[in-house]
Chains A and B, each alone.
Chain A
Amino acid sequence: MTSPSLAEARELLREFPVVDGHNDLPWALREQVRYDLDARDLAGHQNAHLHTDIPRLREGGVGAQYWSVYVRSDLPDAVPATLEQIDCVRQLLARHPQDLRQALTAADMEAARAEGRIASLMGAEGGHSIANSLGTLRGLYALGVRYLTLTHNDNVAWADSATDEPGVGGLSAFGREVVREMNREGMLVDLSHVAATTMRDALDTSSAPVIFSHSSSRAVCDHPRNIPDDVLERLPANGGMAMVTFVPKFVLQAAVDWTAAADENMRAHGFHHLATTAEAMKVHRAFEERTPRPVATVSTVADHLDHMREVAGIDHLGIGGDYDGTAFTPDGLNDVSGYPNLIAELLDRGWSTSDLAKLTWQNAVRVLGAAEDVARDLQATRGPSCATIESLDG
Chain B
Amino acid sequence: MADLQDDLHTATELGELDDLPESLPEPLPESVPAEPYAPVADPGTSPLERAHAILGVHPVADGYNGLPWALRHLPWYDLELGESAVDTDVPRLREGHVGALLWSLHLPEGLDGDRAVGATLEQLDLVKTVVRAYPEGLRLAYTAGQITDVRHCGRVSVLLGPAGAAALGDSLGILRSLHALGLRALTLTGATWASEAGLTRFGEEVLREMNRLGVVADLSGASADTVRRVFAVSKAPALCTRSAARALRPHPANLPDDLLAELGEAKGLCMVPLTAEQTGPTVRDVADHLDHVRRVAGAECVGVSGTFDAGTAHPQELGDASCYPHLIAELLRRGWPEADIALLTWGNVQRVLRSADFTARAAQLRREPSTAKIADLDG
Contact = CB atoms under 8 A, between A and B. Distances in A.
B133 interface: yes
B10 A97 contact: yes
Contacts of A139: 121-122, 124-125, 181
B307 to A, nearest CB: 25
Contacts of A144: 4
Contact of A35 (B173, B174, B178): B173
Nearest to A88: B173
B174 A76 contact: no
Given A83-B117, A136-B121, A384 B178 contact: no
Nearest to B171: A84
B6 interface: yes
Interface in A96-137: 97-98, 101-102, 104, 131, 133, 135-136
Interface in B1-16: 1, 4-11
B176 A77 contact: no
Contacts of B121: 79, 83, 133, 135-136, 139
Contact of B173 (A36, A87, A131, A136): A87
B7 A94 contact: yes
B129 A94 contact: no
Given A79-B118, A133-B118, A90 B125 contact: no
Contacts of B10: 97-98
A93 B6 contact: yes
Contact of B128 (A84, A104, A142, A143): A142
A35 B373 CA distance: 10
A104 B1 CA distance: 11
B133 A90 contact: no
Given A36-B371, A90-B176, A383-B133, A135 B6 contact: no
A136 B126 CA distance: 10
B233 interface: no
Contacts of A316: none
Interface residues of A, number: 34
A357 B7 CA distance: 30
A83 B122 contact: no
Contacts of B122: 133, 135-136, 139
A219 interface: no
B369 A91 contact: yes
A97 B176 contact: no
Nearest to A33: B371
A350 interface: no
Interface in B153-179: 169, 171, 173-174, 176-178
A36 B8 CA distance: 21
Given A135-B122, A139-B124, A384-B129, A102 B6 contact: yes
A86 interface: yes
A142 B117 contact: no
A80 B5 CA distance: 23
Contacts of B124: 139, 142
A95 interface: yes
Contacts of A36: 371
A34 interface: yes
B114 interface: yes
Nearest to A78: B118
Contacts of A84: 171, 173-174, 177
A131 B181 contact: no
B57 interface: no
A83 B177 contact: yes
A104 B133 contact: no
A103 to B, nearest CB: 9
A142 B7 contact: no
A275 interface: no
B177 A76 contact: no
Nearest to B121: A139
B9 A94 contact: yes
B377 interface: no
Nearest to B376: A34
B220 to A, nearest CB: 25
A169 to B, nearest CB: 27
A98 B11 CA distance: 11
A142 B133 contact: no
Contacts of B24: none
A87 B11 contact: no
Contacts of B171: 80, 83-84
A94 B173 contact: no
A232 B31 CA distance: 69
B6 A79 contact: no
Given A80-B117, A138-B125, 10 more contacts: A35-B173, A84-B174, A86-B177, A87-B174, A87-B369, A135-B121, A135-B126, A136-B118, A139-B122, A142-B128
Top 3 A-B pairs ranked by shortest CB distance?
A135-B122, A87-B173, A84-B173
Interface of A: 34-37, 76-77, 79-80, 83-84, 86-88, 90-91, 93-95, 97-98, 101-102, 104, 131, 133, 135-136, 138-139, 142-144, 383-384
28 contacts: A37-B371, A79-B118, A80-B117, A80-B118, A83-B177, A84-B171, A84-B173, A84-B177, A86-B177, A87-B173, A87-B174, A87-B177, A88-B173, A93-B6, A94-B7, A94-B9, A95-B11, A101-B6, A102-B4, A102-B5, A102-B6, A104-B4, A133-B122, A135-B121, A135-B126, A136-B118, A138-B125, A139-B181
